[in-house]
Chain A
Amino acid sequence: MIEVVNLTKRYAGHLAVANVSFTVGRGQIVGLLGPNGAGKSTILRILSCFLPATTGTVRVGGFDVFSDTDEVRRRIGYMPENNPLHLDMRVREYLKFRARLKGLSLAASRERVATVMEMCSLTEVDRRIIGQLSKGFRQRVGLADALVHEPELIILDEPTIGLDPNQLRSVRQLIKELGRKHTILLSTHILPEVEATCSHVLILHQGRILASDRTENLQRNIFQSGPAIAELTGSTTAFQEFFSVQPEVETVDIVATDGDWKRITLTGRDGLDLRPLIHYWACEKGWPLRELTHGRHTLEDVFVKITRTEKEE
């Protein structure tokens, strides 16, 4: 569906995207993961024909985004960052306006608008002015707009930014449902977001792709192997002495919490999951254990991890 070959985008004086290549197959939900300023929006803007690439070729559905602009634009539904909408229009009016711009006939636009409003649960606000809607509703108006013309590819730039947990869940659910019929490319800087919705992940950092794989593979290799966290009762020195000599343990971090409880963060050597061992040790030593969990990696950890392995190679 998307083919990007050696894409480079240079703004005056700084390199936003450096020689990036990737492909996205039909029917995938791909997450473009990276911190702010990694070049996510730039890539999405190039894909949606809004900006030209400095060098490299980008094809969507076999059409070049620079020379076959109209063909590409007909095939994509794009929701830019911060979801800009005409705030003075009413929901149904806006969606109809957008549908007409995207080439739907009057009858078809009426029908499609009704369908997408149903899909995005907008029917109850169809006559409301967009500027008066809550952020969650606005986001759904943006999504409805992106899919009103049944595009093959839906491009969403930070679709869940600024939503409260309930809205977040419903938008994610919607994206997942859409993924059954459409190819979706979305960008985000939130790690759990990718894990929750995407089948594939591209990790972008400083304009370069660091990793690209199926989500479950990356989860196994990078996301899941976080540190083990245990809360035990005992003295700090005893814990320190014990854990630092275990061959399976790489680093130890002990923080005192309430009472005699200590929160101990342990990382295993070579990404080993220490949780079964901790349980075993606690039983053996007779330490009371009240919590055993594993810390999730933050995005920074993932970057540190990937950049470190790259350097070693």
Chain B
Amino acid sequence: MRVYLTLLRRELASHFVSPTGYVIICVVLLLLGFSIMDMLPKLNGDATDTPITRIFYATVYFWMLMLLTTPVMTMRTFAQEKFTGTFETLMTTPVSDTEVVLAKFSGALMFFMVTWLPLGGYMVVLNEYTNQTTTAFDYRTLLCTYLGIGLLGSVYVALGCFASALTRSQLIAAAVSYGLGLTIFLLSLRSLVPVPMAGWQAKVFAYISLTEHLEDFSRGIIDTSNLVFYLSLTGIFLFLTLKVVESRRWK
């Protein structure tokens, strides 16, 4: 535990004490702003019972953020340490591979969640300036959306850590995690695009669809099947990362 916390502190520092971290935060801020601008006209229409968070999530910027920022956040985790050689000094101290993987994963995930904080601010502002008699949003749906973003984010962060563990080059790490992430995202749309599917295929693709599962969260529904889906995907990628880190000592 002591080792985990020491490493986690170091990971957080490496995200927040570097210019890259703030560039990412700025980009996220910009895209979130666009996405609010995109939402506002939709709110001007007729009364709807769709939660505001549901509308937000349907904007294209949301997915851009998810797909574009996570590879940049996670590309450094292992690749940079391998490139500079500090991975060697790290692994020759009495730390376990699991602690290293978990610390890097949770450090990146925490940074990821911090970049999403402005979303809450936007929602509060919106609530302030809409008609006070009808509440524009329920804070519980917002929390639920955050839970969904966190879970989806953990899948992408774990995937990014896995890609980073594979290589010494941050560029390759980012490219691999971007490619894999995009593939998983496109598979999620497979049941609808290019033509809507029918029968068992539609059902299978709907089950593995990231978007389908996230939709429930934005409506304020916490379904255990969604939790299990995201957590198990995260688990798979973390397990793969651990195996890659361990593979250094395979004979």
Contacts and interface: CB of A to CB of B under 8 A. Distances in A.
Contacts, number: 67
Interface of A is mostly: loop
Interface in A72-86: 73-74, 76, 78-82, 84-86
A74 B94 contact: yes
Given A97-B6, A101-B6, A84 B93 contact: no
A50 B248 contact: yes
Given A70-B94, A80-B85, A52 B249 contact: yes
Given A100-B6, A101-B6, A84 B89 contact: yes
Nearest to B99: A101
A34 B250 CA distance: 28
A70 B94 CA distance: 5
A84 B84 contact: yes
Contacts of A81: 85
Given A49-B92, A73-B93, A85 B249 contact: no
Contacts of B96: 70
A88 B92 contact: no
Nearest to B80: A86
A25 to B, nearest CB: 22
Contacts of B13: 89
Q: Could you say which interface size class chain A belongs to? A: 20 to 34
B10 A97 contact: yes
A51 interface: yes
Contacts of B2: 100, 103
B90 interface: yes
Interface residues of B, number: 26
A59 interface: no
A176 interface: no
A101 B90 contact: yes
A54 interface: yes
B249 A88 contact: no
Contact of B89 (A70, A80, A100): A80
A118 to B, nearest CB: 22
B85 A84 contact: yes
Interface string B58-90: 000000000000000000000000001110111
A48 B91 CA distance: 9
Contacts of A87: 84
Contacts of A84: 84-86, 88-89
Nearest to A146: B89
B95 A101 contact: yes
A50 B251 contact: no
B86 A101 contact: no
Interface in A125-167: 145
Nearest to B95: A101
B139 to A, nearest CB: 38
Given A82-B85, A84-B86, A76 B92 contact: yes
A172 interface: no
A97 B85 CA distance: 17
B14 interface: yes
Contacts of A98: 89, 93
A49 B249 CA distance: 8
Contacts of A89: 13
B117 interface: no
B174 interface: no
B44 interface: no
A50 B92 contact: yes
Contacts of B84: 84, 87
Contacts of B95: 101
Nearest to A98: B93
A78 B89 CA distance: 7
A48 B251 contact: no
B93 A101 contact: yes
A145 B96 CA distance: 19
Contacts of B17: 88
A50 B88 contact: yes
A107 to B, nearest CB: 13
A79 B17 CA distance: 26
B7 interface: yes
Given A80-B85, A81-B85, 19 more contacts: A45-B88, A50-B91, A50-B92, A50-B248, A51-B248, A51-B249, A52-B249, A70-B96, A73-B93, A74-B94, A76-B92, A79-B89, A87-B84, A101-B6, A101-B90, A101-B95, A102-B94, A103-B94, A145-B89
Interface of A: 45, 48-52, 54, 66, 70, 73-74, 76, 78-82, 84-89, 97-98, 100-103, 145
Interface of B: 2-3, 6-7, 9-10, 13-14, 17-18, 84-86, 88-96, 248-251
Top 7 A-B pairs, shortest CB-CB distance:
A84-B85, A73-B94, A100-B6, A48-B92, A78-B92, A101-B93, A80-B88
7 contacts: A45-B88, A49-B249, A54-B251, A73-B93, A78-B92, A80-B92, A145-B89
